[in-house]
Amino acid sequence: MSSSLTTTLFQRLLATSSTGSPLKSLIVFKSPPSSRSLFISHPTNPFPLRCSAAASFTMGEVTADSAMDAVQRRLMFEDECILVDENDRVVGHESKYNCHLMEKIEAENLLHRAFSVFLFNSKYELLLQQRSSTKVTFPLVWTNTCCSHPLYRESELIEENALGARNAAQRKLLDELGIPAEEVPVDQFIPLGRMLYKAPSDGKWGEHELDYLLFIIRDVNVHPNPDEVAEVKYVNREELKELLRKADAGEEGMKLSPWFRLVVDNFLFKWWDHVEKGTLKDAADMKTIHKLM
């Protein structure tokens, strides 16, 4: 059995346990020394799986992954991200887990499609969220309204007018912020641009994304999901500039996500002008992929 397949089997086994430590549900049987194999049993699979002893994981790595929050672990192993090349052409799909491993990103140049939503209310204030402490990448950092991934499914692979990314944005606004779909109609998202960036989160995890930047102006009811979001706030321009100052000065532990900071530094304030003037569509440029590495 290949190293990558063995690793995937362990990931799937870990994902099936939603309570307690998944390691308690795994039984590893020693095989004869000559076979260089492990046999792994799990309550949901009564027939042991045969795995090569040369697989590219250690029990320490499995233990570390089992310490993930159960919800985040499930999403890491169940969600299949869309792999693209630097021209945004689909080249395959891969688990969210593998797409965010810096080792995989660097070794295989894994690049996946993403989206970032910037939601403004009728007072032209921008809704920000602080990511939950249980998030695997960039926990407790402040960022734009919602950031996630279109999944490898028919409705989110549609490329015409960025419909797949817009469908995914509507889905995740409900998942993360409890915003009902009818309050954020898909046709109200305005795709303004795309950017490509890479950003490590810590020694193990990171991002390498081709990010669709979606703007929408709506008054909505927000009910944050604590598994995803620690806090939310609306900010005007001056309040955002104060958050930037605090982040730059390291005050009050203020941290901003790298993708949000890239948008702020390169696009946000000039696009905010279009938000207030009602001319957002005039600012759209979906032909260019801005490489902000």
> Mind listing the pLDDT tens digit for each residue in 41-93?
333 343 333 333 333 333 334 444 656 667 666 767 779 999 999 999 999 99
Dihedral pair phi/psi, residue 288, rounded to 5°: -85, 140
3-state SS, one letter per residue, for 208-270? EEEEEEEEEECCCCCCCCCCCEEEEEEECHHHHHHHHHHHHHCHHHCCECHHHHHHHHHHHHH
For residue 148, the cross-strand partners are 115
User: What is the block-wise mean pLDDT of the chain (293 residues), using blocks of 10 residues?
Assistant: 43 43 36 35 37 35 55 73 98 94 94 98 98 90 97 98 98 98 98 95 88 98 96 98 96 95 98 98 98 88
Whose tokens are 């970032």? That residue is 116
Rg (CA), the chain: 21
The pTM assigned to this predicted structure is 0.77
Give the pLDDT score at 51. 35
Q: Give the pLDDT of residue 5.
A: 42
Q: Please give the DSSP secondary-structure letter assigned to residue 151.
A: B
C-alpha dist (Å) from residue 80 to 97, 185, 212: 9, 24, 17
User: Going from the N-terminus, what domains does the chain have, and what CATH number goes with each?
Assistant: 78-291 (3.90.79.10)
- Known catalytic residues are 147, 212
Q: Give the helix/strand (H/E) hosting 4.
A: helix 3-16
In sequence order, which residues have a C-beta less than 8 Å from that of residue 213 and are 6 or more positions away? 115, 116, 118, 191, 192, 193, 194, 195, 263, 267
Residue-level pLDDT at 68: 66
> For 223-238, what is each residue's pLDDT tens digit?
999 999 999 999 999 9
Distance CA 100, CA 65 (A): 13
Q: What is the pLDDT of residue 75?
A: 64
